[in-house]
Amino acid sequence: MEIASDWKDYEILDMANGEKLERWNNIILIRPDPQIIWKQKSFESKWKDANAKYNRSNTGGGAWEYKKKLPESWQVKYKDLSFNIKPMGFKHTGLFPEQAVNWDWMINKIKNANREIKVLNLFAYTGGATVACSYAGAQVVHVDSSKGMVSWAKENLVSSGLGDRPVRLIIDDVTKFVQREIRRGNKYDAIIMDPPSYGRGKNGEVWQFENNIADLVELCMQVLSDKPLFFLINSYTTGISSKVLENILRLNLKISYGKYISGEIGLPMKDSNLVLPCGIYGRWEN
């Protein structure tokens, strides 16, 4: 497992009973997490310091319970990158801090490429990977079907001092966008995708991970350049092994050089030996 252990502005303070106690800069939140099936709290007294808690509803969804007044948004830094945090309707904050392990990896790959790199970021959300790749000097095309998420990504670029970098922010269905790029003859040296388990595009297009991921990777092969740098798939879909993602890459890329790897990513808990598993990845890298 690769562990995102270099954070200063984020940490898990404790976790038990299906919940994690997290510090986001100076704001402390309690949010549910299905991986936390143990009951023992390690630091009982810390839980009373929470600013807000997300309570799940028995009928689905849930709502935030505010124990102390929160700002509408605030920032956290990861090394030289800055991100805007906002409590959202479905427990999220607009950032997945465990992805820092992938940001570091991408930045290193791009900076050491010694050439101009074009990156395609699909299901790009609020742009964590977009910010990282732009910071490393790449040209980035950021695609997501949600106008709100794309606007948020722009905010993160500006907050990180990257507002003038060559980044195209596009609101579109991912599959339809890739199909148009094939027709236009556009190519990319690196492709990133972080597909949801289930979702709908802006025109009601249905996405289901198990049914659609292999077809999308196959389609993306037609926009991969002749000198590719990397291909990364992230997933939070329950029940899928990281090896499945690696297999899909092997079957579709059919590149004999470089290396294929897969695994889990996680977050450490402060002052303990516990690690929270957070997601999986499959990568090919040159």
> What pLDDT shows up at residue 225?
97
The predicted model gives 178-191 an average pLDDT of 98
> What pLDDT shows up at residue 89?
82
On whether the CB atoms of residues 171 and 144 are closer than 8 A, the answer is yes
- Tokens describing residue 83: 């991100």
Determine whether 43 is exposed, middle or buried from the number of CB atoms within 10 Å of its CB (0-12, 13-18, 19+).
middle
Quote the CA–CA distance of 117 and 273 in Å, as a whole number. 38
pTM: 0.94
On whether the CB atoms of residues 5 and 79 are closer than 8 A, the answer is no
Mean pLDDT of the chain: 95
Question: 106 vs 7, 78, 91, CA distance in Å?
Answer: 17, 14, 27
The predicted model gives 55-66 an average pLDDT of 87
Question: 113 vs 71, 108, 120, 229, CA distance in Å?
Answer: 40, 9, 16, 8
Among residues 147, 155, 209, the alpha carbon closest in space to that of 173 is found at 147
> What pLDDT shows up at residue 203?
72
Confidence of residue 57 (pLDDT cuts 50, 70, 90): confident
Instruction: Please give the residue that has the higher pLDDT: either 89 or 162.
Output: 162
The predicted model gives 242-266 an average pLDDT of 95
Q: Which amino acid is at 52?
A: A
Query: What would the pLDDT profile of 259-284 be if each residue is shown by its tens digit?
Result: 999 999 999 999 999 999 999 999 99
**64 has pLDDT over 80:** yes
Domains in the chain, CATH or no CATH each? 2-73 (2.60.40.1180), 94-285 (3.40.50.150)
On whether the CB atoms of residues 51 and 67 are closer than 8 A, the answer is yes
> What pLDDT shows up at residue 202?
66
From its phi and psi, is residue 84 left (phi > 0), alpha (psi between -120 and 50) or beta? beta
